[in-house]
Structures are given as C-alpha cells and as structure tokens.
Structure 1
Amino acid sequence: MATSNATIETTEGARYLRRLCKHWSHKFAVTFDDTHGEVPFSDEARLTLEATDTTLHLQLTHVDAEALPALQQVVVDHLQRFAGDTVLTVAWA
C-alpha cells in the first residue's frame, strides 16, 4: 500500500470533514463524526480524515502508488470547492 499525508492549517477542519464525508456518503460506505472520517473509495483506496481545532489531516492510501496523484487531486478539488473563496494549501508527502 502506498500512503500519502497532508495537513491543512484551518480552523474549519471539522466542517470540511463533515461536508466531504456527507458528499461521498452517497457513493461510498463512509463513516464519520466531528473529528474522524473514513472514505473507502474501493478495496484499493481509502481516505482517512482527522480534524482538530487548527488542522485537517488527510491520509490517502492506494495499492498502486502511481494512482495516488490523481486521487490526491480529486480530494483537493472537492475540499477547495467546499472551502469557497478560502484558498487551502495542501502539500502531500
């Protein structure tokens, strides 16, 4: 499994987590509360989210390391859409 992580500095982490999880719950078997979320995209890929008062931490796993960048972009595009005019800085490592 290939894994990448990103931490976004934001006081809106819990709100973004809820919105993203609710959005994808129509398509995937998502579980979440105010501070933790799991989005199983497939048997091959999963997004885990952790929100604190000042950050939103993302962990993305995929069986194929070459598929991670495209999935990372999907996650960032959705988060940015939910953030509206606020520009989020997301650096995957």
Structure 2
Amino acid sequence: MKSNTTINTSEAARIAKRLLNHWKHKFEVSETAEKLSIFMPDATVNLIPKSDILWVSIESTLTDLSHLEKVVLDHLNRMAQQEFIVTWQHE
C-alpha cells in the first residue's frame, strides 16, 4: 500500500531534517541530497523537500495506513510548530 501527500511550506528542508533527526534514535534513516527516508518496521516514510512544498510518501505492507498517516502528520506539525491540513492520496 502506498500513500502520499504534499505540504505547502517554504521550510520543507528544515521540517524534513527535524523529523529525520527526531526519529533517527528509534528507526534506521537515510539521507541524500534529494530525499530523506525513515525505515519503520512496517513502513518506509520518504520526505522530498522542494522550494515550496514537502512531498511525503508512506510505503507499507499494512492495508490501512490511516493511523500511520496521522502519526506522520502529527509529527510534521510538531516539527514545523504549525498545523498542516493535508489530503492523502492512496495507490
């Protein structure tokens, strides 16, 4: 199952880096110039910061990603210190 969304923000790189640093003590992470990845037991979260958006994708073996979407968004909101309203697209 795959789910993704975009967040409109001019601070995409900072927010993505803060989330990666927050979760690197709990999960394996990877960082390249284009993409930051967080490897959870049942899912991989990919963050791709652009100049005015943060593209977020969750790939998982789970059939219901709603809880994971909420957890990821809650943490992104906390890292950004603001509330993002997003719509997740499922593939």
TM-score (norm 2): 0.90
Percent identity at matched positions?
A: 34
Structure 1: which amino acid aligns with 2:49? A
In the TM superposition, 1:24-63 aligns within 5 A as 24-33=23-32, 35-42=34-41, 44-63=42-61
TM-score (norm 1): 0.88
- Quote the residue 1:79 is aligned against: 76
Aligned CA-pair RMSD: 1.2
- In the TM superposition, residue 89 of structure 1 has moved relative to its aligned partner by 2.2
- Quote the residue 2:4 is aligned against: 5
Secondary structure in structure 2 of the residue aligned to 1:81 = helix
Question: Structure 2 unaligned runs (5+)?
Answer: none
- Quote the residue 2:15 is aligned against: 16
Structure 1: which amino acid aligns with 2:74? D
State how far apart, in whole Å, the 1-side matches of 2:19 and 2:31 are: 10
- In the TM superposition, residue 34 of structure 1 has moved relative to its aligned partner by 5.5
State how far apart, in whole Å, the 1-side matches of 2:61 and 2:54 are: 23
- Quote the residue 1:70 is aligned against: 67
